[in-house]
Structures are given as structure tokens and as C-alpha cells.
Amino acid sequence: MRKIRLIIGREIKSKLTNKTFIIMTILAPLLITGFLAFMIKMTQSEKTEQNVLVIDDSKLFKDKLVGNDYISLSFSNDNLPKAVAEFSDKGYSCVLWISPTVIEGGAGATKLFYKKSPGFAFQTYIKDQMERIVYENKLKANNIDPTIISNSKQSIKIILEKVNDKGSTEEQASFGLFGFLTGALMFMFILMYGMMVFRSVMEEKTNRIVEVIVSSVKPFELMLGKIIGVAILGIIQFAIMGIITFALTTVLSTIFLKDVSAQLKVFQSQQEMVKKNGTNVNFNQLEKFDDKLEVFDLLQKIEKIDFVEVFICFILYFIGGYLFYSSIMAAIGSAVDSEADSQQFITPVMIPLMVGYFIATKTIMDPDSSTVFWGSIIPFTSPIVMMSRITNGVPMWELVLSLSILFVSFVFTTWLAGKIYRTGILMYGKKTSWREIGKWLFYK
Amino acid sequence: MADILQIKNVSKKYSNHIALNDISLNVAEKSVFGLLGPNGAGKTSLIRIINQITGPDSGEILFKGEKLNPKHVERIGYLPEERGLYKKMSVGDQVLYLAQLKGLSKAEAKKRLTYWFEKFEMQSWWKKKVEELSKGMQQKVQFIVTVIHEPELLILDEPFSGFDPINAQLIKNEILELRKNGATVIFSTHNMGSVEELCDNIALINKAEKIVDGSVKEIRKTHRTNTYKITFKGNLLGFTNALWTGGEILDKHTEDDIHSVTLKLATTVTGSQLLQAILPICEIHSFNELIPSMNDIFIMKVNAGNEIVGTKSNYTE
């Protein structure tokens, strides 16, 4: 045991003092959150202040077309050429001209004059309002009350309730995308740390230090020490990355999502009220969040995820899946002399991982299909596929079955890998084949 | 003297060839034992079995009378032929790690390493990375790692390959000193000069079989071919006549009246009989029996095993 501890210690220390490793550990979460923030930022509209001079020759929009906290509109009766010539001197950022014939439609009925482009979000904002005003106007022209139309519109939301084995129902988060992401993360981690074990084994072999070491410790102990060392390293790295990511996302979300989460609270309390009081509620007093419903949906789904369950499963499946694959990787590392030779052995190991990844994508669409079920039971794919299923609610017996198979399998692969490893690390200069490796299994 | 190592009928087979076939050897305590043999004879396989890196298919090995077991690892020091170090690790960390793997405590390892680093004048290397060291420097580090736990049995696989003459001499001196301090040394080599210089006993392995073993002196003696080299002044013809049928001249040359003759005597004739026969005829300057060197025996035995006959032999005096 003391020797295995020494090996584990060396494995961890050699990586922790490696600059690339440290930089990657810190940089990866920065990149991930940076990318996420960038994506969110991209989807959110640019809020540059717009001071708009509106020349409404149709006289339809006065007092109806309104600005918001960053768009201010001032109506004017100036003639257009004069306004276009002078608007920027007067402190306006653009001129919106609406033709008298706007209600008949046609291109060129509305024009925007600007020096600096006000952006797409601004255009959409103005356009949507104008379309609604014209729409209501036309309805009124035909003696139709617009409120009838708007009240007859009803959006439908399907709430998923899964009936579990005890017959009771539970509302499902059914957040397929999140499941897929954890599955993909599992894929990445298993591959990353599996490769780390592979490199570490190969390094010792090509360095020719391995024979010195196996004269002091059993090859199996060396392999085990290495695998455990990298696992601990992985967990350390995982923790550091997790903490950095968590801190960053918390900071970022308070910046980006502060308004949204406050609004969500109002929205939820309103929903409660509606549930309690039914149609007696005065709807006009309620705040409307029509444009925010999708974000709310996402946030509510995230809130419903049982992160503790996901975390525990992730750790268990990571340990199982990692040990399963890394012992195979250790065996391969011991069998080859150079990274160039390793491709023919790594590819067959990559394939089941890739298959797992693809089944995980299928989970989003069809979480209860039999492919997904078997994928989450068979140990080659189960760590990835089961993680992708986990937010859909997996019966306990399936979890227990899948994990037990995985853990029994890794004991088997580790035992097998030990036999290959023992012979492989001492074989130099020979090109190894699968046949050859098969024979090693039977050496004493 | 007691045997530190008894190898009994050890065999090892790989899928397509036999590495060791029923090898039995005894290695006496506090001796230097040479394991000789051409490439691929099975030396490294045997050494790996002694180091418990692999196991024999059959047969057993006793270490000081006990069946070889993992506890013995800490009493054996091993310098493999394919030796290396972690390139990116500092020398100090590395030797500490390897010494601890051999069962030393960290404090003890540090103490002993200080001694060796001073002895080889390499204190300044402690913080250096191995990749910054020259090959000779790395070999010194490797040697220290092999002996740091003061093993009773030291196994060196081709210790002189790759060493420059200065380091080779350094290692030779260390081997002799370690033996003086009570260690047993087994080494495999192709370097026959070092065998005669260092070894008390040897075993010659070829094609997975043991061909010869015993003390170097004994082996050389038993391989005597009754060959003598005589230099004399006098009549060569008379000398030849005096030989009668008792011997065959292998080589002769003459320089300034002095004849130098190498001859092989018939098995029935002894050296002193020859001396008596020629003494009256000529003035003898020197008379030596030619005992085959280990190199000769090695080549002779290996070629006999390979059934190649007719090699040129170089006898030494």
C-alpha cells in the first residue's frame, strides 16, 4: 500500500507542477464561461441609447408609438429634408419617417435615416409596434374590437407528469439539453483522463524507467497507482474547474440575469395567484411577460434539476467509466512504443465512446427509447448515456443495475489490463498487434 | 560459502520461443557472478525472473534458502539494461522517489543520497531536471538508485554498455568495493575483459540452456588444450625432431635467431615431458602454457552450440 501511495503521489505531483496542466485547469473554465457569456450577450439586444425624431405624415402613430428605457421618441411636424439635414446637430440619433400611405402597405412607406446604425433590435422594436398599431387600426376600421382578437389567442404549454412505479405522478423537468450536456461532459472527461493515463504509461515505457520501477513494485501496483493518481488528479482538476466556473457564472448571472430573475419571481407569484383565485383576478393589473416566457421556462427547468442527484451520479459514473476506460488505455499505452503506433489501438476504444455520445444526442429527442435504455446499461456507453438520461428521472433499479454492471466490468478490465500491461511495458522495438496482445494474456 | 541464490530448474516459454530451458545455478554469497551469453540467450529473462518482474513457468528460486517472494525485492538492487529516468523530474525528487519505492523512509533516503552525491561529486545536480544531464551523468544517477538501499544482492544487466571508460572504471571499482562490504553482485555482460577482471564465478548461457558454470579459474583450467608457447635459440629442425610425435606445431616464426613456436601437445604428453625433451637441444628463453581466455571459451562454446566450426582463436598467456 505504501508503494501505491508513493506512485499516486508522484503521479499527482508531476502533473500539478506541470505548467500546461495548471494553465489548462484555470483557462478552461474561463473559456467556457467566457463563451457562454458571449453567447448570452449575443442573443441579448444591444441597448444603445436612441433619441429618435419621428416625422409621422400618416398621423396614425402619435401617442401610440412609444419608446422604452433606452429609446426616446419625439414627434415633429418638420418637413423631411429639413429634418434629415439637421437631426444630428439637434442631438437626435436618427429620423423615422412614416408615409401617409403606410396603412396601405408597400415598400418604402417607412424610412429610417441615420448616421450610425441603430441596430437590429431597435428596428424590430419599432417595426413590431407599428405592425400592431396598423393591425388594430385596420380591425377598428372594420368594426372589430381588438381585445376580442387578443383574448381569443391562447398559448398552450404542455406540463409533463411522469407516472412512477408507485403510481404517483411527478412533474418532470425534462430538460433534455442539460442531460445531453452532462453526458457530453462525461465523454470529455473519460477521454481526457483516459488519454492522460495512456500518455503517462507510454512515457514510462519509452523513458525506459519502467523496468527500474517494476523491480521494486509489482507492475499491477504501478498501473493501479497510476490510474488512481490520475483519477484523484481529475477530481482535483474537476473541483478547481467547478469552483471557478461556479464563481464566474454566479458573478455573470447576477450581472446578466438580475432583472430576469426578479421578474421571474413576480411572474411566479402571479401564477400562484391565478391558480388560487381563478378568473376572478383582474388581469389588467398583472404585469405581462410575454416576451420573457422562454427564459422563464429555462430558469424554471434549471431550478427543478436535482443537482445533488446529478452530482452524485456524475461522480459515480465518472469513477466507473474512467476506471473502465483508463485501464484499457493503460494496457494500450504499455503495448505501444510511440504515439504514432497507438492509433490502431485507440480507435477501437474511441468507437464505443463515440457511440455513447451519439446515443446521448438521441436522448434529447427520445429519452425512453430502447436504444437509450440499453445504452445506459451496457458499460461501454452507460456512463455517458445514463448521464444524459438522468434529468428525465431514471428508476432506481436501472441505476443500480447499470452501476453494478459498470463496476463489475471495470474490475474485469483492470484485471485484464494488468495482464497485458505486465508484459507490454517490457516489450521494446517490436511492433505490437492485437494477436500479440492476446497471447500476453496467457503469460505467467 | 553459502549460496545467496539457488536457481532450480527454471524454465520460461514465450509464445514463439523458449527463453530459458531448465536452468539451474547457484550464486555464492559475497562473490561476483558473471552471467554470460550472446544476445537473445535468455540472460535478461533470467534476471527479470530473479527480480520477480516476471515469473518462471516452472522451477523455483531460493533467496538465502527462502523461496523468492516480494519481500526480497528490498534486498535486491537492479540496474536493467534498458535503463531510464523521468526526463522532466528533478534528479533529487527522482532518486528520493525511487529510493522510497525500495522501502527506505524519506529521511533515511535523503541521508544516504547525500553520501552518494558527495562521493560522486554531484551535489549540484539535485535540482536539475534529468533532461539537462549528460548520458554519463544519468548513468551515475541510475547506479546510485540501484545501490541506495544497500542491497545484499546487486544485479546489473550489461552495466558497462553505454558507459564511457572513466565511468566504467568507476562502476568496476564500486562493484569491487560493494563486494568487499559484503554484497553479492551478479552482472551480465559481453565484455569478457571485465569478466576476468571482476568475476569469481560465471555461467554461460546460450539458446536458453546453461552451457558452462563454475569459477573462472576452474573453467579456464578445464578448458586447457595442452598448448604451449616456447621461445628458444637453437636449431629449429632439432627442435622439431625432439618433439617426435608428441605434438603439433600450430605457429612458428623466427626473428634474429630466436624461434617462437606455439604447439599443441598430444593428450598423453605433459608440459614437463616436453621441457625435458627439448632442454638438451636448445637454449630456452621462455616456456608458457597457453590457457584459453574467457573470450575464447565463450566463442568456442557458443559456436559449438551453434554448430559452427573452425574459428580463429586468440590465446593469451
Judge if B256 and B196 occupy the same domain: no
> Which of B39, B45, B53 is the best residue to mutate to test the A interface, defined by the most A CB atoms within 10 Å of its own CB?
B53
Q: Cβ of A428 under 8 Å from any chain B Cβ?
A: yes
Bigger pLDDT: A225 vs B313: A225
C-alpha separations of A47 from A44, A144, A201, A280 in Å: 9, 36, 54, 38
- What ipTM was assigned to the predicted interfaces of this complex? 0.78
Judge if B34 and B110 occupy the same domain: yes
Enter the C-alpha cell of residue A344.
Answer: 490502431
Q: What is the mean pLDDT of residues B144-167?
A: 86
Identify which of B82, B98, B103 has the shortest CB distance to residue A428: B82
- Residue B308 binned pLDDT confidence (cut-offs 50, 70, 90): very low
Determine, for residues A212 and B56 on separate chains, whether the beta-carbon distance falls below 8 Å.
Answer: no
Q: Is B317 a domain residue?
A: no
pLDDT at A234: 86
Residue at a domain's end among B195, B215, B235: B215
Identify which of B55, B82, B83 has the shortest CB distance to residue A444: B55
For position B185, which CATH number holds? 3.40.50.300
Q: How many whole angstroms separate alpha carbon A239 and alpha carbon A309?
A: 17
pLDDT at A67: 81
Q: How many whole angstroms separate alpha carbon A320 and alpha carbon A328?
A: 13
Judge if B184 and B120 occupy the same domain: yes
Spell out which residues of chain A touch residue B102, defining contact as CB-CB under 8 Å: 216
- Residue B315 binned pLDDT confidence (cut-offs 50, 70, 90): very low
Q: Cβ of A212 under 8 Å from any chain B Cβ?
A: yes
Q: Is B135 a domain residue?
A: yes
Q: How many whole angstroms separate alpha carbon B236 and alpha carbon B229?
A: 14
Judge if B49 and B109 occupy the same domain: yes
Spell out which residues of chain A touch residue B106, defining contact as CB-CB under 8 Å: none
Q: Is B108 a domain residue?
A: yes
Q: How many whole angstroms separate alpha carbon B83 and alpha carbon A252?
A: 53
Q: How many whole angstroms separate alpha carbon B70 and alpha carbon B305?
A: 36
Q: What confidence tens digit (pLDDT) does each residue in A69-81 have?
A: 778 888 888 888 8
Q: What is the mean pLDDT of residues A358-375?
A: 85
Q: Is B309 a domain residue?
A: no
Angle between helices A219-256 and A2-16 (to 10 degrees): 40
Mean pLDDT in chain B? 84
Judge if B33 and B102 occupy the same domain: yes
Identify which of B70, B85, B93 has the shortest CB distance to residue A209: B85
Judge if B79 and B183 occupy the same domain: yes
Identify which of A6, A203, A212 has the shortest CB distance to residue B80: A212
Q: What percent of chain A has pLDDT over 70?
A: 87
Q: What is the mean pLDDT of residues B244-257?
A: 80
Judge if B211 and B238 occupy the same domain: no
Angle between helices A396-424 and A382-389 (to 10 degrees): 160
pLDDT at A197: 92
Q: What confidence tens digit (pLDDT) does each residue in B87-145 have?
A: 888 899 999 999 999 888 999 999 999 999 998 888 888 889 888 888 888 888 888 99
Q: Is the Cα torsion angle A437, A438, A439, A440 positive or negative in sign?
A: positive
pLDDT at B311: 43
Enter the C-alpha cell of residue A320.
Answer: 466507473
Q: Cβ of A111 under 8 Å from any chain B Cβ?
A: no
Spell out which residues of chain B touch residue A217, defining contact as CB-CB under 8 Å: 73, 101
Q: What confidence tens digit (pLDDT) does each residue in B281-307 have?
A: 888 888 888 888 888 888 888 888 776
Q: What confidence tens digit (pLDDT) does each residue in A86-143 have?
A: 888 888 888 888 888 887 777 778 888 888 887 777 888 888 888 888 888 888 888 8
Q: What confidence tens digit (pLDDT) does each residue in A254-310 have?
A: 776 667 777 777 777 777 776 666 656 565 566 666 666 666 777 777 777 777 888
Nearest to A246 by CA among A32, A20, A21, A24: A32
Q: Domain span at residue B30?
A: 3-215
Identify which of B82, B89, B100 has the shortest CB distance to residue A14: B89
> Which of A15, A20, A212 is the best residue to mutate to test the B interface, defined by the most B CB atoms within 10 Å of its own CB?
A212
Q: What percent of chain B has pLDDT over 70?
A: 96
Q: What is the mean pLDDT of residues B203-224?
A: 85
B296 with B283: CB under 8 angstroms?
A: no
Type and span of the H or E element at B14: none
Q: How many whole angstroms separate alpha carbon A342 and alpha carbon A432?
A: 10
For position B236, which CATH number holds? 3.30.70.1150
pLDDT at B187: 87
Q: Is B296 a domain residue?
A: no
Q: Cβ of A16 under 8 Å from any chain B Cβ?
A: no
Q: Is B247 a domain residue?
A: yes
Judge if B182 and B235 occupy the same domain: no
pLDDT at B313: 44
Nearest to B185 by CA among B168, B164, B202: B202
Distance from CA of B110 to the nearest CA of A (A): 16
pLDDT at B1: 61
Q: Is B313 a domain residue?
A: no
Distance from CA of B48 to the nearest CA of A (A): 8
Spell out which residues of chain A touch residue B93, defining contact as CB-CB under 8 Å: 13
A180 with A388: CB under 8 angstroms?
A: yes
Determine, for residues B98 and A212 on separate chains, whether the beta-carbon distance falls below 8 Å.
Answer: yes
Query: Has residue B317 got a pLDDT over 50?
Result: no
Judge if B144 and B268 occupy the same domain: no
Judge if B250 and B169 occupy the same domain: no
pLDDT at A46: 58
Q: Cβ of A277 under 8 Å from any chain B Cβ?
A: no
Judge if B101 and B189 occupy the same domain: yes
Residue at a domain's end among B181, B215, B249: B215
Q: Note if the pTM is more than 0.80.
A: no
Q: How many whole angstroms separate alpha carbon A407 and alpha carbon A318?
A: 11
Spell out which residues of chain A touch residue B74, defining contact as CB-CB under 8 Å: 216
Q: Is B243 a domain residue?
A: yes
Q: How many whole angstroms separate alpha carbon A97 and alpha carbon A92?
A: 13
Lowest mean pLDDT: which of A47-61, A164-178, B57-71? A164-178
> What's the number of domains chain B is made of?
2
Spell out which residues of chain B touch residue A10, defining contact as CB-CB under 8 Å: 97
pLDDT at A352: 92
Judge if B173 and B239 occupy the same domain: no
